Amino acid sequence: MPVVTTSDGVEIFYKDWGAGPPVVFSHGWPLNADAWDRQLKAVADAGFRGIAHDRRGHGRSTQTSEGNDMDHYADDLAAVLEALDLRDAVLVGHSTGGGEVVHYLARHGSERVSRAVLLGAVPPLMLQTPDNPEGTPIEAFDDIRTGVLADRSQFYQDLSVPFYGGNRDGSTLSQGVRDQFWRLSMQAGLAPAYDCIAQFSAVDYTADLRAITIPVLVAHGDDDQIVPFRASAPKTAELLADAMLTVYPGAPHGLHGAYEEEFTADLLAWLTR
């Protein structure tokens, strides 16, 4: 398998499709690079080089019991870009992957990156605090921790419904999409998946966003039940120096159906801007 070995000995699996300007994808929790397959094929077919890695602890990367934090996630992304010597890359991050992209840019700079895309991303802060009243109460994240520890298989099956908006009238969510979500989620190790909850819920990316100067497409469904729109995308766009906010009316958190088609078209347009 193609892997990059990090400075602390973790093997990061990656997929590398096509040839041309690089587009690097970071996935959401608790999935892996396979969640980006349709976008990888779309960018490769359009003359780009699509690259997606499994976050440490997820998928085919090393299932670590330590280092499951945003600093390491950003450093692992840096290791992939450096090992493949990628230049003028476009970084695309969904959900937790959006936090990874933002933290990478603030921590490592944009020397190798020309622009970025944040889709349903967790910045600036998911957790409800006195300064962030629109955020999600800590009890919701504690429930996620309890579900992952007690019976993560059933928890992931149940999570697939709100993740893709399957509990909304008119939903076209198929059992196949739900099964794929469960399959990818179960490939994440229990300890890394558990540790990652704090990283997508309680990390404050405000300072990171203010440090980013490259153009960023901020894309979000306004019926996102996982990363609520009001607490995320508009605030992120306001904090960025050069942002374009795209809102998908009625769209959920996870990509599927017409929402996926629309986002993929917008992604390709952003790449050729």
- Catalytic (active-site) positions: 95, 224, 253
d(CA 74, CA 102): 8
32-38 own/partner pairs: CB under 8 Å, 24+ apart: 32/58, 32/59, 32/60, 32/61, 32/184, 32/187, 32/188, 33/59, 34/59, 34/180, 34/184, 35/94, 35/184, 35/255, 36/92, 36/94, 38/255, 38/260, 38/264
Q: How far apart are CA 203 and CA 30, in angstroms?
A: 17
Closest CA to 101 of 82, 78, 85: 78
Instruction: Identify the CA nearest to 152 among candidates 26, 30, 27.
Output: 30
First-to-final CA distance of the chain: 34
Burial class of residue 170, CB neighbours in 10 A (0-12, 13-18, 19+): exposed
